[in-house]
Amino acid sequence: MQLTDKKFLFQSFTTLNLAKNKIGNLGAQHLADALQHNTVALTGLDLSGNRIGQVGAEYLADALQHNTTIITLDLSGNQISHIGTQYLADTLQHNTTLTTVKFGNNPIGEDGAQYLADALQHNTTLTSLDLSGCRIGQDGAQYLANTLQHNTVILIFFLSISCFYLHFSIKTLITLNLRDNRIGDTGAQYLVDALQRNTTLTSLDISSNQIGSDGTKYFADALQQNTTLISLELWDNGIGEVGAQYLGNTLQHNTTLTNLDLSWNDIKDAGAQYLADALKHNATLTRLNLRDNRIGEVGIQYLAYALQLNTTLITLDLSKNEIGQIGAQNLADALQRNKKLSTLDLSWSQIGEVGAHSLADALQHNKTLNTLDLSWNQIGEIGTQYLADALQHNTTLTNMDLSKNEIGEIGAQYLADALQHNTTLISLDLENNGIGDVGGQYLIHALQQNTTLTKINVLCCNASANECAPTSPI
């Protein structure tokens, strides 16, 4: 069907995805004509990555002044300048149905931001606006910030590349994503000033912003008084040991935060100790991500002991840390006593076959863990044997990742034997383990007996296509 078939274009669709089709401004014109004659409730339209430019934007803007059904529109990456933005901004002053507009990666600049800011003072329906990568600069952000002081409708606002004038304006936001803005510790201070006045924000992402330990202190202080924020993402901010200390002190008193992401922050053993001390007392945090923080055996020992006392943490990511076999032993001891943790990621943690042995012993007693990631850990066939033995007795684990562990065909045999007895495992990842055709046969035989496993991944295991076919994801 051609875009010129206006009579039929929207007869049977409620959502239409035409992303990355190079329709250009001519295609946009045909779509605009169709939108004005749409007799079906088309509610969602994705035109991202289509090079429609300012001419195409003008056609669509005219159509949207008459269309009364579309609520979600994606125009990201369309080479729309400030001129095209002006057309769309004029439309937003009159349109009463659009609730979500994605406009990211369009070079609208400061002028385009001003046009949108003016429109938002009159629009009463838009709740989500994405302007990531729009080169609006500090002046453009200030235009929007000033507008948002008066607009009480927009709930979700994305500005992924610029700036921190939003400290004037987040009085009614519930979700704020400022990832990758280079706001630094100064921008963090502005943002914290706003948080102290905000009573609605529940989710904040300021990852990859170079806020450092000083910026972290501002947030830590704010969290001592804030009573609404439940999710905070601070990954890749260089907070270090000192920043972890600030947050650790805060977590001992905060009673609302449930999700905290501190991955890629170089907190090391000392930082882990501060957070571990907090976990002994905190009774609300349910998800903690400490991936790739250069935490060694000592830091893991602190965290493991805290897990024996903590009663709320459900998900813990310790992947890409220097845990080793001793750290694995400490975590295994914690798992035998912890009654709450259900998801544990220990991938890329150098635990080896000895660490696998320790964890296998814990799995025979633990009654809460249902997801365990041990990929990239050099477990080998011996470590796999320990885990396979545990699977014959464990009755709670449903998801297990053993990919890239050199288990070989013998390890596959151990697992196959276990699968004939296990009645709870639903998903098993064995990708890139060199199990070969023989190992594939063992698993095929096991699956003929097992009635609970619904997904098994054996990609790149050096088995023939015929061997692998029955064990691909079901």
pLDDT digits (tens, 9 = 90+) for 409-428: 999 999 999 999 999 999 99
pLDDT of residue 140: 67
At 107, which CATH number? 3.80.10.10
pLDDT of residue 455: 96
**Higher pLDDT pick, 133 / 382:** 382
Give pLDDT tens digits for 349-391: 999 999 999 999 999 999 999 999 999 999 999 999 999 999 9
DSSP category for residue 231: E
- Number of compact structural domains in the chain: 1
**Is the pLDDT reported for residue 465 higher than 70?**
no
CB 187 within 8 A of CB 214: no
Of 276, 302, 288, 378, nearest to 342 (Cα)?
Answer: 288
Range of the domain at 43: 1-169
- Tokens of residue 291, six digits: 């991936």
Neighbours of 31 (CB within 10 A): 25
Q: Is residue 136 part of a domain?
A: yes
Q: What are phi and psi of 227, to 5 degrees?
A: -125, 15
319: Cβ contacts below 8 Å, ≥ 6 apart = 291, 292, 345, 346, 347, 348, 349, 373
As to burial, measured by CB atoms within 10 angstroms (0-12 exposed, 13-18 middle, 19+ buried), residue 171 is middle
- The CA distance from 93 to 338, in Å, is 56
pLDDT of residue 354: 98
pLDDT of residue 342: 99
Cα→Cα distances 457→67, 416, 428, Å: 47, 14, 7
Q: Helix, strand, or coil here: 364?
A: coil
Q: Among all chains, which residue has been given the structure tokens 């004029």? A: 90
Average pLDDT over residues 275-290: 98
The answer to pTM > 0.85 is: no
CB 437 within 8 A of CB 406: no
Q: Is residue 371 part of a domain?
A: no
The lowest-confidence range among 93-102, 400-409, 435-444 is 93-102
Give pLDDT tens digits for 171-216: 555 777 777 766 788 778 877 776 776 677 888 888 988 899 999 9
Q: Measured in Å, how far apart are the chain's first and last C-alpha atoms?
A: 34
pLDDT of residue 360: 98
* pLDDT band of 20, cuts 50, 70, 90: very high
* pLDDT band of 147, cuts 50, 70, 90: low
Q: Is residue 51 part of a domain?
A: yes
Q: Is residue 201 part of a domain?
A: no
Average pLDDT over residues 210-229: 93
- Tokens of residue 194, six digits: 């706003």
Give pLDDT tens digits for 293-339: 999 999 999 999 999 999 999 999 999 999 999 999 999 999 999 99
* pLDDT band of 1, cuts 50, 70, 90: very low
* pLDDT band of 142, cuts 50, 70, 90: low
Average pLDDT, the chain: 87
Q: Is residue 334 part of a domain?
A: no
pLDDT of residue 84: 95
pLDDT of residue 293: 99
Longest dimension (CA), the chain: 69
pLDDT of residue 158: 59
Of 128, 157, 133, nearest to 80 (Cα)?
Answer: 133
Q: What are phi and psi of 162, to 5 degrees?
A: -135, 140
Q: Is residue 126 part of a domain?
A: yes
Cα→Cα distances 441→204, 435, 444, 457, Å: 49, 10, 5, 14
Q: What are phi and psi of 157, to 5 degrees?
A: -135, 125
pLDDT of residue 121: 84
**Is the pLDDT reported for residue 247 higher than 90?**
yes
**Is the pLDDT reported for residue 161 higher than 60?**
no
pLDDT over 90 percentage in the chain:
65
Q: Is residue 178 part of a domain?
A: no
- The CA distance from 474 to 470, in Å, is 8
**Higher pLDDT pick, 137 / 274:** 274
Q: Is residue 27 part of a domain?
A: yes
41: Cβ contacts below 8 Å, ≥ 6 apart = 14, 69
